[in-house]
Structure 1
């Protein structure tokens, strides 16, 4: 994980009082987007929060700011925490499972955030089970390596409180994340085999690749057809994937990088993006399949793809 903390460089301190506010902000834009995206799991909301941070940065008196990086992260963390509290209420009434917006991490956009691991899709799904403050503390401390004292200052809490929250959040995530990350090459090959078996309707092949407690989460947001509840168990997941595969005869499949791992995009004959999917693996078995079909969550993927990101 990235260890990009609050501590600014000599350049930060030298430029703090300069008039180049736009240049200074742009230097840290990727970091700010990464913090906000990891806290929210939403590209659109993160971009809005970064924009609001820019407005505050541009209109405030910065003559006393000794560390622009620290100052900007504090702004975006507070803006994002407020947004997170608001959207969590909306997500409680969301139709079907709510999944994070996937982020393309192909060769041309891999540095869109500070660290590919910080946007692991499996991590984002787990972070959805944390409360807003726990998630903010975890992202700032564990993902970006920001010191406890600076996290406390950013969130308006005591350092002792932040340490306690960080411990709880860390234990919560450890209980839900796999102990060992799969080998990237093996993960890619298993993802390809899993997709091929789904398209071919190979029920036995699918069951062989699935963990007994495998689950499929499908996010349609009530706007397109998708399972309204998680589907559990190797047998049921295999049958669902076979059924989904049978409906993809006229769909173009593209392999790509999503949140730092192998991903799949499904394009309609008309050229629209109908789904994005990731496959999580433990050992040599598929444990989770995440399918995003909500068109609102696919728009930025269409744009990113059309800019020319490189598939596998």
Structure 2
């Protein structure tokens, strides 16, 4: 971190990172609203302070990688460093254009990734999902990668409140329940409903934990935490990129990852759900 940035406020950070003059519109904190102006035009922005050094730079890399697919709408990144991230502000309205979101999400996934676990091109291997650590370590085989890098690390972190043998047995079952092989998809990676904002033009995605993964994992997270018009979204997705047979039977498999992350972050309230999902694999 550059000396002095620890005490820097969001408006000053926005000016430094964007070159625009910034005026604060809201209280300083993790998220702050500012107005950016170049003297001729002005626009609303959000300034985010990262929870850990480098978190905002990793998030910016993920947002830019998702935006490069030219599929789902992503807020423009105006600037980022290891402490701050400056984005366009979204003016939220009621959810609409659900089918467009489904089709665009399919196109985002189809943009692909070099491997399962591949980070965004300018992103770090050691990233985050929310405030939990998330290691991006590329592998060619999804079942082995998912067990090694998306299940077992979080089981170890929460081993005091989980029966680890249940999850070890589940990991052994993944190759037989994973369904047909799929190419690595370009995932948002933390696709719960709070990270799907809606404005007059439809859905906009924020706060990614972007990486190469299995496309059903993003969809499973929408199912886990709910999303307006979910069935319409999935139906439109399926029109563009048909889901493999047995997709709904695999939802619990793909929900293991977010459930374990939530177990690490929030404790026993999610441990039972994660255990039930693991046991459902047989």
- TM-score, normalised to structure 2, is 0.21
- TM-score, normalised to structure 1, is 0.20
Structure ranking higher in helix proportion: 1
Larger radius of gyration: 1
